[in-house]
Amino acid sequence: MDITEEGFKWFQDHEWPRYQQQGNGIAEGLKRYLKDDLEKRLTGNHQGTRANAPIMRQKPEKPNIEIKIVDIAFAYNNAKLISLLRERGQHIIYQRFDKMREVE
């Protein structure tokens, strides 16, 4: 599933405060929200969910079983940037500031 910028903004405005109070970082809060909401949608228990939330546009069919999601992994479409940030971080750790500036 793709999480659009609009969907992420909606999460920040409507759901993030509740997950933030539980002590989660924003990525962990989003993961928990998606897990909770997907389990409810897939199991057919839509009470308390926001079925029209823009973060998920499709409404899956309701099976007659209980579904539990073990984990959600995020994949980012900016792998090159993440790789460069990781490399930059290594240069900072080992105090190679001249190489850090090259990476920037």
What's the rounded mean pLDDT across residues 2-23?
89
Q: Which domain holds residue 99?
A: 74-104
pLDDT of residue 49: 46
52 and 97 within one domain: no
Give pLDDT tens digits for 17-65.
Answer: 988 888 778 888 999 999 998 888 887 765 544 555 656 555 556 556 7
66 and 22 within one domain: yes
Distance CA 28, CA 17 (A): 13
- Higher pLDDT pick, 99 / 1: 99
State the Cα angle at 77 between 71 and 79, rounded to 5°: 95
pTM equals 0.56
Number of separate domains in the chain: 2
Closest C-alpha to 103, from 86, 79, 95: 86
